[in-house]
């Protein structure tokens, strides 16, 4: 690397035109591009090859996608570095002269979430609980039928579970994560070229709740868009028919514009069998609940009883899956409500001998894992009968006050 006046001469690298992260001086972790006697020397030639992922670098007011090694030879001086720790006020100010601060985004670098190595079956289980397959039609006069078709795979969680979203993004290698003002963060994939990765995953590791029926409608819409059939009158109305059977169906505006759409019949999910224990760990990370209830019982010596329950609640159409949970875990019961069904394990011996060993082997992820650990603490106190003493009951009360919705961030 040599300086020629205001021009920088660079050596053409062996991996020319391949996506990578750029060379950054590494004198100290907190000092980036420090203008010193070393200003024209790159102190590290270690290059990390990047996959074909979208990046969010913002340089000279231009949103840059995959950065490639095609900027060798003679170039005007500019700073093009991948920021490994994106902060507004580094000790060196020079680098940020090239960053448009008005477009500063909350990013993975500032939040520094823990990336989880996700098992594919865990991901499917979590998606069975939290994912959404969306077909949207957006009014736009530039399009042939005055409506734009947009397909999206979405997972929305509280910001406390942001690491799960980034871990999903890391697993798939596509999509974006962003946070809203209401503390909800979203993992979103909508590019047709990216959605094929989502499709391939759920074809290989299928959903087993009734969300599988949603997925099949979504996949049919994807095939139409991928083959550009949505640009034909027949294909466009097929998209409308698919959307009318998915989630909340057609909006009032779409019903008014297309009153004669006939919904496509939803597939019946025939196979609710659990294929892998990691699926259940993922599903419980999304849908499970560990509860500690302290009830007034005047007849008891200390006047209170402690009740523990591990609960999963689903729509009543997933009754077969709830029954399969009993078979798979070898414990629990189901309780039917008008529109929902609960799977519950309340027996202390079942919690000790079956539930806790299972989740110790196949861990829950996210904020719910902390609730699980607190739940285990209470189970252990009950095993030694501490809940029958004032001191033990006070310990359980304190644990309960920090669980679930009461947990402080």
The pTM assigned to this predicted structure is 0.72
Residue 10 has pLDDT above 80, yes or no: no
The whole-number average pLDDT for the span 120-139 is: 96
Residue 116 has pLDDT above 90, yes or no: no
More reliable by pLDDT, 319 or 89: 319
The whole-number average pLDDT for the span 231-241 is: 94
Confidence of residue 35 (pLDDT cuts 50, 70, 90): very low
| Closest CA relative to residue 382, chosen from 390, 374, 370, 393 | 393
Q: How far apart are CA 261 and CA 10, in angstroms?
A: 61
Q: Which of 259-273, 306-320, 377-391 has the lowest mean pLDDT?
A: 259-273
Report the pLDDT value the prediction gives residue 29, as an integer from 0 to 100.
37
**Could you read off the pLDDT of 383-408 as tens digits, one per residue?**
999 999 999 999 999 999 989 877 77
Report the pLDDT value the prediction gives residue 300, as an integer from 0 to 100.
84
Confidence of residue 127 (pLDDT cuts 50, 70, 90): very high
CATH architecture of 120-257: Roll (3.10)
Report the pLDDT value the prediction gives residue 224, as an integer from 0 to 100.
97
The whole-number average pLDDT for the span 152-172 is: 96
| Closest CA relative to residue 188, chosen from 58, 297, 54 | 54
Report the pLDDT value the prediction gives residue 16, as an integer from 0 to 100.
45
3-class secondary structure for the chain? CEEECCEEEECCCCCCCCEECCCCCCCECCECCCCCCCCCCCCCCCCCECCCCCCCEEECCEEECCCECCCCEEEECCCCCCCCCCCCCCCCCCHHHHECHHHCCCCHHHHCCCCCCCCHHHHHHHHHHHEEEEEEEEECCCCCCCEEEEEEEEEEEEHHHHHHHHHHHHHHCCCEEEECCCCEEEEEECCHHHHHHHHHHHHHCCCCCCHHHHHHHHHHHHHHHHCCHHHCHHHHHHHHHHHHCCCCCCCHHHHHHCCCCCCCCCCCCCCCCCCCHHHHHHHHHHHEEEEEEEEECCCCCCCEEEEEEEEEEEEHHHHHHHHHHHHHHCCCEEEECCCEEEEEECCHHHHHHHHHHHHHHCCCCCHHHHHHHHHHHHHHHHHCCHHHCHHHHHHHHHHHHCCHHHCCC
**Could you read off the pLDDT of 68-80 as tens digits, one per residue?**
333 333 333 333 3
Confidence of residue 48 (pLDDT cuts 50, 70, 90): very low
Q: How far apart are CA 304 and CA 298, in angstroms?
A: 7
- Superfamily assignment of 277-406 in CATH? Homing endonucleases (3.10.28.10)
The whole-number average pLDDT for the span 133-142 is: 92
More reliable by pLDDT, 182 or 240: 240
The whole-number average pLDDT for the span 88-99 is: 36
Within this chain, domains 120-257 and 277-406 share the same CATH topology: yes
The whole-number average pLDDT for the span 234-242 is: 95
Tell me if 215 sits within 8 A of 135, measured CB to CB: no
In the chain, pLDDT over 90 holds for what percent of residues? 63
Average pLDDT over the chain, rounded to an integer: 79
Q: How far apart are CA 255 and CA 232, in angstroms?
A: 20
**Tokens standing for 298?**
């005047």
Residue 22 has pLDDT above 70, yes or no: no
Report the pLDDT value the prediction gives residue 234, as an integer from 0 to 100.
94
The whole-number average pLDDT for the span 50-66 is: 39
Report the pLDDT value the prediction gives residue 267, as an integer from 0 to 100.
85
Report the pLDDT value the prediction gives residue 101, as an integer from 0 to 100.
33
Report the pLDDT value the prediction gives residue 141, as an integer from 0 to 100.
86
More reliable by pLDDT, 27 or 264: 264
Report the pLDDT value the prediction gives residue 148, as an integer from 0 to 100.
93
Report the pLDDT value the prediction gives residue 115, as an integer from 0 to 100.
84
**Could you read off the pLDDT of 169-188 as tens digits, one per residue?**
999 999 999 999 889 999 99
**Could you read off the pLDDT of 269-296 as tens digits, one per residue?**
888 999 999 999 999 999 999 999 999 9
Extents of the domains making up the chain: 1-104, 120-257, 277-406
Report the pLDDT value the prediction gives residue 316, as an integer from 0 to 100.
92
Report the pLDDT value the prediction gives residue 113, as an integer from 0 to 100.
67
Residue 103 has pLDDT above 60, yes or no: no
Contacts of 268 (CB under 8 A, 6+ apart): 213
Residue 27 has pLDDT above 80, yes or no: no
């Amino acid at each position: 690397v040599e300086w020629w006046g205001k021009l920088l001469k660079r050596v053409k690298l062996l991996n020319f035109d391949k996506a990578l992260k750029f060379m950054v001086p590494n004198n100290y972790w907190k000092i980036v591009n420090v203008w010193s006697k070393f200003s024209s020397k790159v102190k590290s030639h270690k290059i990390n090859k990047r996959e074909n992922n979208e990046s969010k670098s913002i340089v000279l007011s231009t949103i840059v996608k995959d950065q490639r090694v095609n900027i060798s030879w003679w170039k005007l001086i500019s700073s093009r570095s991948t920021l490994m720790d994106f902060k507004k006020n580094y000790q060196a100010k020079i680098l940020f002269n090239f960053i448009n601060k008005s477009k500063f985004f909350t990013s993975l670098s500032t939040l520094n979430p823990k990336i989880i190595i996700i098992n594919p079956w865990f991901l499917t289980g979590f998606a069975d609980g939290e994912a959404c397959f969306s077909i949207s039609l957006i009014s736009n006069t530039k399009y042939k039928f005055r409506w734009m078709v947009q397909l999206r795979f979405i997972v929305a969680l509280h910001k406390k579970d942001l690491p799960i979203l980034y871990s999903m993004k890391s697993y798939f290698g596509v999509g974006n994560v962003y946070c809203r003002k209401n503390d909800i963060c979203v993992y979103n994939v909508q590019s047709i070229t990216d959605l094929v990765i989502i499709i391939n995953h759920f074809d290989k590791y299928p959903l087993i709740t009734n969300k599988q029926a949603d997925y099949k409608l979504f996949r049919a819409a994807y095939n139409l868009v991928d083959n550009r059939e949505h640009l034909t009158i027949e294909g466009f109305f097929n998209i409308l028919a698919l959307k009318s059977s998915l989630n909340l169906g057609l909006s009032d505006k779409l019903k008014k514009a297309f009153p004669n759409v006939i919904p496509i019949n939803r597939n019946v999910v025939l196979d609710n069998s659990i294929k892998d224990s990691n699926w259940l760990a993922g599903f419980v990370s999304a849908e499970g609940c560990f509860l500690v209830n302290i009830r007034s019982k005047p007849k008891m010596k200390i006047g209170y009883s402690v009740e523990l329950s591990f609960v999963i609640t689903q729509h009543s159409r997933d009754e077969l899956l709830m029954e399969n949970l009993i078979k798979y875990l070898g414990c629990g019961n189901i309780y039917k409500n008008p529109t929902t069904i609960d799977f519950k394990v309340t027996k202390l011996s079942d919690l000790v001998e079956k539930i806790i060993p299972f989740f110790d082997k196949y861990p829950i992820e996210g904020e719910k894992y902390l609730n699980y650990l607190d739940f285990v603490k209470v189970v252990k106190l009950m095993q030694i009968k501490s809940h029958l003493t004032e001191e033990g009951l006070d310990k359980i009360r304190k644990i309960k006050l920090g669980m679930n919705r009461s947990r402080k961030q």
